[in-house]
A and B are shown apart, each in its own frame.
Chain A
Amino acid sequence: MASDKDTSSETPSRRNFVKLALGLGGAAFVGVLVGPALARLLAGGTSGGGTGTQPAGPCTEFASFQRNILSGGPPKDGIPSVDSPRFMSAEAASNFLKPTDIVFGLDYQGVQRAYPQRILVWHEIVNDRPSGQHLAITYCPLTGSQIAFRPPTGGDGETFGVSGQLVNSNLLMYDRASDSNWPQILGTAINGQRCASVLAEVPLVWTTWDRWRQRHPGTEVLTTETGFLRDYNRDPYGLYNPDPHGYYRNDSLIFPNVMNRSDRFPPKKVVYGVKVGDEQLAIPAEEFHAVRVKNVALSGTPLVALQDGDLNAVRVFRREVEGSPLTFQHEEGRILDAESGTLWSPEGIGLEGSFQGTALTPISAVNVMWFAWYAFYPGTQVLS
């Protein structure tokens, strides 16, 4: 046993050590522990801090969504959006990205940018300005959905933030001008001044770094200089590379409270969600590899879904040129329209024939987990 000492022999330095230890502990306790607890108490006892408790007001049609807002854990802006994004060349990015890493590719008004999933998983929103025009690049890890939005009408210059709350496990954004809340998959404000406003979507492709770089060698890539410090080599929910793992693979939800449920597919099966007007369509990703081309209509709008083999993605376009609908087909690896015989690229551009150089109007096709798409759109059609 160690030697013992008479208590009367304690030295001043030991007393000082004890006082210092207790002082440090006390100061930290008061400053760090009690402070936030008091703040939470004064704020109403929630950690979400969002605006989900706003009265429905005239926006009663979204009352069910309002009732289904729940805290995801972090406070408002606890998951910080990237508001001053920086970009690097494809060559520089290859030192950071593995070929099979997931990126969200944007090809918009002549600008090509890749947003690595490894960065977005920590920030969920990038308030970007490609071509000088504001776009919100959004990603929700819990629903596996990526969507680019233009700001609301008349709201150029606006940015979005992460409310810390969820609807159907989906990211609930807020706009910093009106503090209205927008579920990402819905793309519609469900409360606040902008309730019922709809955001315009811009196609954003879920693909891998090697595929995107091969298609767009001059692409810019979002850097890790986000203004925040994170371990961008780690995904807190699981892994996509080389194969889905963790939350992305298992059937369980962290927040199982969703508005609508379906057993038609496994909950996390990937579908491409398309919406036009009041109608929605889910395109099962895996099955569509064999289909390649499908002519459909939503809310009376003729659409075509094309398999973009190089990016391993599904793209959707309005299949109309000068007001006339076209019927697309797949022949010997080529995409042709039956009316003119024009050869089309998977990016919806006429390559040879009558419509050479013509670009079809792209429609956003969201890569999303089935459970989340159905939770928002129980009346969705499913491409079979």
Chain B
Amino acid sequence: MTAWDRARDRFHDALARPRLKWGGILAGTAYALFYLFTLGHIVIQPGSTPLPNAGVFAVVGLENIWRERAPYNYEPIAVFQPVEGFAVFLAVPNLLLAASLGILLALSLAVAFYLFTEFRACGITGSATGILASAPAFLTGFACCAPSLAISLGAVSAASLTGLIPILMPAAFLSLGLVLAWNLLREVPNAGTVPLTVRAKS
């Protein structure tokens, strides 16, 4: 079995577990929303409406759809204000970035926790191994949140980080991608490549 076969099997096994799949989707969605919130594209401010004259939904400045406000922060071209105190600014590139980061995070978490359960199932329950197994998830969390917080600071020009901001988004993608790839491709002693229950059946 090649590393790619192992990765594919591991990927499918992880997504075959409803708890991991839905847990990943939940975490990915929460992350994407949090990212948009830190950018100021989701506004929760009781008692106020950001654009009182814009109505419930307005499209403004479609020509600015790819216009950058700050590195990896783009012009909103629509606003949705369904109720007082809540608004969503829609910037297409940022929605794509949020979705991409969310999907990557969801997959990373699902695979990382899949491996974590595999370790436990195989009876390797020493604390060192547990920490080792949870490291990818920790790294995943750090990779997603630390850069996005810094990016959101960049959106307001808080820029002792100015020089760093342009590389934070690529860094977030790279770190999440590397963690996912590592968890998919690495060899896990005694864990095997076949899910526990399948092995038990056989």
Interface contact A72-B159, CB-CB below 8 Å: yes
Question: How far is the CB of B202 from the nearest CB of chain A, in Å?
Answer: 10
**A245 to B133 alpha-carbon distance, docked (Å):** 45
Question: How far is the CB of A30 from the nearest CB of chain B, in Å?
Answer: 10
Interface contact A229-B89, CB-CB below 8 Å: yes
**Taking A32-B97, A74-B70 as contacts, is the C-beta distance between A47 and B165 under 8 angstroms?**
yes
Closest chain B residue to A40, Cβ basis: B166
**Taking A14-B15, A28-B97, A37-B166 as contacts, is the C-beta distance between A78 and B68 under 8 angstroms?**
yes
Q: Mark B138-171, 1 if CB is under 8 A from A, else 0.
A: 0000000000000000111111101101100110
Closest chain B residue to A26, Cβ basis: B100
Contacting residues, chain A, for B82 (C-beta < 8 A)? none
**Taking A7-B12, A25-B103, A25-B104 as contacts, is the C-beta distance between A229 and B159 under 8 angstroms?**
no
Interface contact B159-A254, CB-CB below 8 Å: yes
CB < 8 Å neighbour of B173 from A29, A227, A230, A232 = A29
Interface contact A95-B173, CB-CB below 8 Å: no
CB < 8 Å neighbour of B43 from A6, A72, A234 = A234
For residue A2, CB closer than 8 A to chain B, the reply is yes
Interface contact A74-B157, CB-CB below 8 Å: yes
Contacting residues, chain A, for B163 (C-beta < 8 A)? 71
Question: How far is the CB of B183 from the nearest CB of chain A, in Å?
Answer: 16
Interface contact B50-A230, CB-CB below 8 Å: yes
- CB contacts under 8 Å to B, within A21-77, are 21, 24-25, 27-29, 31-33, 36-37, 40, 47, 70-75, 77
Interface contact A47-B100, CB-CB below 8 Å: no
Contacting residues, chain A, for B13 (C-beta < 8 A)? 4, 7
For residue A334, CB closer than 8 A to chain B, the reply is no
Contacting residues, chain B, for A72 (C-beta < 8 A)? 157, 159, 162
Interface contact B20-A227, CB-CB below 8 Å: no
Interface contact A224-B70, CB-CB below 8 Å: no
For residue B129, CB closer than 8 A to chain A, the reply is no
**Taking A37-B166, A223-B53 as contacts, is the C-beta distance between A32 and B197 under 8 angstroms?**
no
Interface contact A224-B51, CB-CB below 8 Å: yes
Contacting residues, chain B, for A2 (C-beta < 8 A)? 17-20
**Taking A72-B162, A234-B40 as contacts, is the C-beta distance between A227 and B61 under 8 angstroms?**
yes
Interface contact A4-B197, CB-CB below 8 Å: yes
Question: How far is the CB of A98 from the nearest CB of chain B, in Å?
Answer: 10
Question: How far is the CB of B66 from the nearest CB of chain A, in Å?
Answer: 9
For residue B16, CB closer than 8 A to chain A, the reply is yes
For residue B11, CB closer than 8 A to chain A, the reply is yes
Interface contact A28-B96, CB-CB below 8 Å: yes
Question: How far is the CB of A181 from the nearest CB of chain B, in Å?
Answer: 18
Interface contact A31-B96, CB-CB below 8 Å: yes
CB < 8 Å neighbour of A4 from B60, B97, B198 = B198
Q: Mark B45-68, 1 if CB is under 8 A from A, else 0.
A: 100111111100010110010011
Interface contact B159-A234, CB-CB below 8 Å: no
Interface contact A24-B43, CB-CB below 8 Å: no
**A79 to B156 alpha-carbon distance, docked (Å):** 10
For residue A225, CB closer than 8 A to chain B, the reply is yes
Interface contact A254-B70, CB-CB below 8 Å: no
Interface contact A79-B89, CB-CB below 8 Å: no
For residue B76, CB closer than 8 A to chain A, the reply is yes
Interface contact B100-A24, CB-CB below 8 Å: yes
For residue B72, CB closer than 8 A to chain A, the reply is yes
**Taking A2-B17, A18-B15, A232-B51 as contacts, is the C-beta distance between A28 and B100 under 8 angstroms?**
yes
B residues bordering A, Cβ < 8 Å?
9, 11-13, 15-20, 40, 43, 45, 48-54, 58, 60-61, 64, 67-72, 75-79, 87, 89, 93, 96-97, 99-100, 103-104, 107, 117, 154-160, 162-163, 165-166, 169-170, 173, 194-198
13 chain-A/chain-B pairs, Cβ below 8 angstroms = A3-B18, A4-B198, A7-B195, A10-B12, A28-B100, A73-B165, A75-B71, A78-B70, A80-B67, A229-B76, A231-B40, A236-B157, A254-B160
A residues bordering B, Cβ < 8 Å?
1-7, 10, 14, 18, 21, 24-25, 27-29, 31-33, 36-37, 40, 47, 70-75, 77-80, 95-96, 142, 223-225, 227-234, 236-237, 254-255
Contacts beyond the supplied A5-B195, A28-B100, A231-B87: 10 A-B pairs with Cβ under 8 Å: A4-B13, A7-B12, A25-B99, A32-B100, A36-B72, A75-B68, A80-B75, A228-B61, A233-B50, A254-B160
